Amino acid sequence: MKHLYQLVGLIITAMMSSSLSAGDTLTDPDTALTMLNKQNEQFEQQVIKVSERVFTAVGFHGANTSMVVGDDGVVIIDTLLGPASAQNAYDALRQHSDLPVKAIIYTHSHPDHIGGASVFAAASKPDVYASHGFGVAANISKAVNPIILERGIRQFGRKLPPAERTNRGLAPANTIDNDRGKGFLAPTIRIPESGLKTTIAGVDFEFQMGPGETDDAMFIWLPAENVLFTGDNFYQAFPNLYAIRGTPYRNVMDWSNSVASMVGLNAEHLVPGHTMPIAGAENVKAALEGYSDAIRSVYEQTVAGINMGKGPDQIAHEVELSVNLDEKPYLTQFYGTVPHAVRAIYAGLVGWFDGNPVNLNRFAPEDEAKRMAALAGGAGALMAQMQSALDAQDYQWALELADHLRWLDDVDQASVRSARIVALRALAAREYNAPNRNYYLSYANELEAGALDQRWR
């Protein structure tokens, strides 16, 4: 067993170009790949002995599952996505205890934490604990399920070929997903909003509500063991305050406050919903304080920008983490990003309109593309500008020009498609934010395969 449950020493600042802002997750291709490969250490498959009674299985799927060994039974905290991954983790955990399962606890209702429960309950009838509001983790209208599924596949790189896979930011690239949710068991005990203190299998448990990444989240505290289970309110990557697959507004101040409330527990061990546990009271305190402060800082800077009349794109390019936070390995933007968070906070607080009257009645994309071409001196001139951007490795600008050109009938759309693919792959190679990288590559592959309509997608 490898004892890797300390803060991973990613020397990010030495690897990254000093010219990049805190919100910029693009660097040179070799550095991006090195960083992502280093992050893979966070999901190396193993069982970690967190304390005398607590064992955590990491890397058996995207999330973690833990076993608390009591006097006459064990308690399972979170159960992975489906029965196959849960069985693999359970077999490994069973090397440390063969006592019957007395209870299962869901920290929240994301599918990768609840789908394998039946495996742990196969030989007993355990109580299943969840928060009083359990079941609202996704909180996405079923009306948009088709596009959310499509974008989620891209975000997580689920269809990428092996050569293009790195990881998912807080999970390994390769997981067993074909039995999603087939082992879910409905909660039998709901934790009230005020929380609960109880004893299960001779072990004292404290349940506290902690809305954050999800509204139904709670965290679990074992006072005798000095172990804190944070669920998805903490993991070793900048938090996903907005997911590019599509999510309603996540109340980021609730998230910051929930993490801050954990600090006072003075935990010796922290078990996150994803990535490696953290050991040592000072390390745990620093990580929780830094996480809460980072979320709060992004929120406060965004609100200040809003009240100055700035739009979301401008604010997204201005908000930065302070140096003392930006250099923390558990805040590296492997999963969430500062710019994505800014735009989500903006939309969540004031909606789509940025206050600029030019945006009240913008031209349709096709009309704007024609006007852009005319301004450039014709569609051919605009094509030449796109090619010049590619030649200069100005890939974002090339992609933006191609986004206009895809609406024009008097250009070679095969060439535009090829340019988009080149730009997307080049941006992906330079991207160390895993969801961004996966999305670029997935989109490029779909364009290459002819799976996307050139104009509508």
Q: Where are the beta strands (DSSP E) in 174-225?
A: 189-191, 196-200, 203-209, 218-222
Helix axes 395-405, 379-391, angle to 10 degrees: 160
- The tokens describing 377, both together, are 């001196």
Distance in angstroms (rounded) separating the CA atoms of residues 303 and 50: 39
Question: How many other β-carbons are positioned within 10 Å of the β-carbon of residue 352?
Answer: 8
Give the residue carrying structure tokens 């064990």.
74
- The tokens describing 329, both together, are 């390995």
Q: Which amino acid is at 257?
A: N
Residues of CATH 3.60.15.30 domain(s) within the chain? 12-349
Cβ neighbours of residue 30 closer than 8 Å, sequence gap 6 or more: none
Question: How many other β-carbons are positioned within 10 Å of the β-carbon of residue 326?
Answer: 20
What is the pLDDT, as a whole number, of residue 2? 40
Number of helices (H), then strands (E), in the chain: 16, 13
Give kind and range of the element (H or E) at residue 279.
strand 278-279
| Model confidence band, residue 367 (pLDDT cutoffs 50, 70, 90) | very high
| Model confidence band, residue 6 (pLDDT cutoffs 50, 70, 90) | very low
Rg (CA), the chain: 23
| Model confidence band, residue 327 (pLDDT cutoffs 50, 70, 90) | confident
3-state secondary structure of 44: coil
What is the pLDDT, as a whole number, of residue 454? 65
Distance in angstroms (rounded) separating the CA atoms of residues 138 and 444: 27
Distance in angstroms (rounded) separating the CA atoms of residues 302 and 304: 5
| pLDDT at residue 138 is higher than 90 | no
Please compute the mean of the pLDDT values over residues 84-98 and round it to a whole number.
Answer: 98
Could you give the percent of the chain with pLDDT greater than 90? 88
Q: Which amino acid is at 276?
A: M
What is the pLDDT, as a whole number, of residue 3? 40
| pLDDT at residue 83 is higher than 50 | yes
| pLDDT at residue 19 is higher than 80 | no
Residues of CATH 1.25.40.880 domain(s) within the chain? 363-448
What is the pLDDT, as a whole number, of residue 4? 37
Please compute the mean of the pLDDT values over residues 144-156 and round it to a whole number.
Answer: 93
What's the distance, Cα to Cα, between the start and end of the chain in Å?
Answer: 47
Per residue in 415-450, pLDDT tens?
A: 999 999 999 999 999 999 999 999 999 999 999 998
Distance in angstroms (rounded) separating the CA atoms of residues 347 and 222: 38
pLDDT, mean over the chain: 93
| Model confidence band, residue 248 (pLDDT cutoffs 50, 70, 90) | confident
Q: Does domain 12-349 have CATH number 3.40.50.720?
A: no
Distance in angstroms (rounded) separating the CA atoms of residues 14 and 282: 24
**Weakest mean pLDDT among 20-24, 43-47, 228-232, 329-333:** 20-24
User: What fold, for 363-448?
Assistant: 1.25.40
| pLDDT at residue 323 is higher than 90 | no
Per residue in 258-313, pLDDT tens?
A: 999 999 999 999 999 999 999 999 999 999 999 999 999 999 999 999 999 999 99
Q: Where are the beta strands (DSSP E) in 101-184?
A: 101-105, 127-131
Q: Measuring CA to CA, which residue among 309, 217, 307 is closest to residue 254? A: 217
Distance in angstroms (rounded) separating the CA atoms of residues 156 and 143: 22
CA 104, 108, 110, 113 torsion-angle sign:
negative
Q: What is the DSSP string of 93-112?
A: HTTS--PPEEEEE-SS--HH
What is the pLDDT, as a whole number, of residue 39? 97
- The tokens describing 396, both together, are 């974002």
| pLDDT at residue 369 is higher than 70 | yes
- The tokens describing 390, both together, are 């590619």
> 260 in the Ramachandran plot: left (φ > 0), alpha (ψ -120 to 50) or beta?
alpha
Q: Which amino acid is at 24?
A: D
What is the pLDDT, as a whole number, of residue 456? 62
Which DSSP state fits 82? S
Q: Measuring CA to CA, which residue among 38, 17, 37, 32 is closest to residue 440? A: 32
What is the pLDDT, as a whole number, of residue 137? 64
| pLDDT at residue 387 is higher than 80 | yes
What is the pLDDT, as a whole number, of residue 200? 98
Please compute the mean of the pLDDT values over residues 55-72 and round it to a whole number.
Answer: 98
Distance in angstroms (rounded) separating the CA atoms of residues 438 and 160: 8
| Model confidence band, residue 139 (pLDDT cutoffs 50, 70, 90) | low
